[in-house]
Amino acid sequence: MEQMLSFCGFEDWLEFRSTSPLSADPVNFDRWGSQVAASGCIEPLTNKTINGSRIQVGSSWREGLVYEGINSRGRAVMRIIELIIAEQQLSSPRIYASEGLTAFALRMRSLFPRFIGSEFTLDPEHRRWMYPIPFEDLQRLSMATDTFDIVSTNEVLEHVPSVDKALGEICRVLRPGGWHVGTVPFNYFSQESTQRAKLSPTGDIVHILEPEYHGDPMNAGGVLVFETPGWDILDRALAAGFARAEMRFFVSLRYGIVSEHIGGVFVFCCQK
């Protein structure tokens, strides 16, 4: 099973779902995930053969199928980065990721000399401990304009108070033709994003819905979700300055990319 499709809007996705029975059957998803866990897969970028016995299944397919800290959705991002590097014939790409301590960041740093990863925390003690890993706020990046070939944000945008500011900054630091690639918790059956919290003019957090927190290496209590994007994030990316914005739906037994509910992993891709 190998499928990568690009969707530029909610209606395209709904049409695909209505005409592709494989994409709507959870029995298939469990079968695909179990096959990867049993037979193994290939890690993108490193081309390493992963034996099934080395894979940790986990509690879900999207967040599971873990090999050396990288899960199914992480391999989806790595594969798309691999394709971009090949398509653009990048011999030594400049890559920035909004993570500096994760297995994904460590793998990227080992492969690309001009990779840089950062973390974010408001705690001064954590910032001192984190040094020399850079501290960056996606809403106010310190990087120069038109710098990077690729920017990756994985499970981060939902925690930023203003997704629109973050998209504008990501676009700014990418060179023309560069790509943003990343994953985000996604309302794939909704055109509208769901705002869960916001900042008041004085900087206080205002909760709109019940607070939701996700795990974070820099915050023991987790990090607050401000917004869960829907399909309107594509229009917002275009408004932020990107020339192209799409959701790539990716399922691959070869690369160990499977998800529950919809079968594949959505990767948010925008080109400047």
Could you write out the DSSP letters of every residue in 9-65?
Answer: SHHHHHHHHHH-GGGG-HHHHHHHHHHHHHH-EEETTTTEEEPGGG-B--SSTTT-S
What CATH superfamily classification does 2-271 receive? Vaccinia Virus protein VP39 (3.40.50.150)
Q: Dump pLDDT digits (tens) for 2-27.
A: 889 999 999 999 999 888 866 678 88
Please give the pLDDT value at position 218: 62
Q: Which residue ranges make up each domain of the chain?
A: 2-271
Average pLDDT over residues 152-165: 96
Average pLDDT over residues 20-43: 89
Nearest Cα neighbor of 102 from 93, 114, 92, 110 is: 110
Percent of the chain with pLDDT over 70: 97
Residue 182 pLDDT grade (very low, low, confident, very high; cuts 50, 70, 90): very high
Please give the pLDDT value at position 30: 93
Say how far apart CA 169 and CA 67 lie, in whole Å: 32
Average pLDDT over residues 202-224: 84
Q: Pick the range with the lowest mean pLDDT from 59-63, 123-127, 166-170, 228-232.
A: 123-127
Please give the pLDDT value at position 222: 81
Average pLDDT over residues 202-222: 83
Please give the pLDDT value at position 220: 66
Axis-axis angle for helices 72-87, 103-111 (nearest 10): 30
Residue 217 has pLDDT above 80, yes or no: no
Please give the pLDDT value at position 231: 98
Q: Dump pLDDT digits (tens) for 79-124.
A: 999 999 999 999 999 999 999 999 999 999 999 999 999 999 888 8
Say how far apart CA 256 and CA 46 lie, in whole Å: 14
Residue 126 has pLDDT above 90, yes or no: no
Average pLDDT, the chain: 94
The HSE-up count of residue 69 (CA atoms within 13 Å, CB side) is 8
Global confidence as pTM: 0.95
Q: Dump pLDDT digits (tens) for 221-268.
A: 788 999 999 999 999 999 999 999 999 999 999 999 999 989 999 999
